[in-house]
């Protein structure tokens, strides 16, 4: 092989290796919560990019389900780039998303008739790349479908977020089935923080980290997402819940 051709081949090979190494680094990147107790419970110190994460309400009611959606919105808000939100029911309250840090101008909403459409849209968006996060609202997440989403997320380094929403208690039972998701969270609403004057304080949530790869389950009481999508450890339960402990539901 002539010297010039050999040098060109070596340069192209180096570029390919560099691209592969960059992809691995991207997939291993994490989005920290900025709360030491929570980040310490997650391998890598935060939610992994290039992975799928599940969120659901602590009960089958609308209140807990809305908290899970707002928690997911706050996470998506702290990513960079557009956010694709796939759903079958266009019932999101835009001011609430903005209050959790996710301005609707950043979001591309994709509506489907069936959950199969949501799964297909999520997989396509995750495979596209260049997005901050891809969110999908689902009742059920079969293992095969979750694996396809996980592989698509790994390919591009995009974060996949699945918000499990159900209309009845029987549907909530599916949340216990195994999936390929990297983490699984459950969100329940707690009484708002007390104020020294009459009024409603910051909303509080009870977070259950029910599953995490290469980690242990934990529980936290936190203040709900602020206008930047950030949470903090709630001071209302300092005597028993400020530090993580193994979930009784795992």
Tokens representing residue 100 in the block: 């959790």
- Helix, coil or strand: residue 77: helix
pTM above 0.85, yes or no: no
240 vs 128, residue with greater confidence: 128
> Average pLDDT in the 85-104 region?
92
The pLDDT score that the predictor gives to residue 243 is: 40
Q: What is the pLDDT of residues 108-159, one digit of tens each?
A: 999 999 999 999 999 999 999 899 999 999 999 999 999 999 999 999 999 9
> Cβ(247)–Cβ(217) under 8 Å?
yes
How far are the Cα atoms of 15, 80, 106, 160, 167 from residue 49, in angstroms, in the given order? 23, 11, 18, 8, 30
Q: How far apart are CA 138 and CA 125, in angstroms?
A: 16
Q: What is the pLDDT of residues 198-221, one digit of tens each?
A: 666 789 999 999 999 988 999 999
Tokens representing residue 13 in the block: 């090979």
Q: How far apart are CA 175 and CA 184, in angstroms?
A: 9
- In the chain, how long is the greatest CA-to-CA distance? 83
Q: Pairing relation of β-strands 133-138 and 159-164?
A: parallel
Using the predicted structure, report yes or no on whether residue 20 has a pLDDT greater than 80: no
């Amino acid at each position: 092989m002539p010297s010039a051709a050999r040098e060109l081949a070596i340069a192209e090979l180096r570029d390919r290796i560099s691209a592969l190494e960059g992809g691995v680094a991207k997939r291993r990147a994490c989005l920290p919560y900025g709360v030491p107790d929570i980040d310490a419970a997650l391998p890598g110190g935060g939610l992994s990019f290039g992975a799928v994460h599940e969120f659901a309400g602590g009960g089958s009611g609308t209140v807990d389900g809305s908290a899970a959606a707002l928690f997911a919105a706050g996470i998506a808000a702290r990513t960079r780039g557009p956010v694709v939100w796939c759903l079958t029911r266009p019932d999101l309250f835009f001011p609430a998303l903005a209050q959790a840090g996710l301005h609707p101008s950043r979001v591309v909403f994709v509506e489907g008739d069936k959950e199969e459409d949501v799964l297909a849209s999520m997989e396509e968006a995750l495979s596209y790349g260049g997005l901050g996060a891809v969110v999908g609202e689902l009742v059920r997440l079969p293992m095969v479908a979750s694996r396809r989403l996980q592989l698509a997320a790994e390919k591009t380094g995009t974060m996949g977020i699945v918000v499990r929403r159900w209309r009845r208690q029987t549907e909530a039972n599916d949340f216990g089935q195994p999936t390929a998701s990297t983490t699984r969270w459950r969100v329940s609403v707690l009484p708002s923080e007390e104020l020294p004057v009459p009024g409603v304080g910051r909303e509080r949530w009870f977070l259950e980290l029910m599953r995490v790869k290469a980690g242990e389950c934990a529980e936290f009481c936190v203040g709900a997402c602020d206008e930047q999508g950030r949470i903090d450890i709630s001071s209302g339960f300092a005597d028993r819940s400020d530090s993580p402990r193994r979930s009784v539901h795992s």
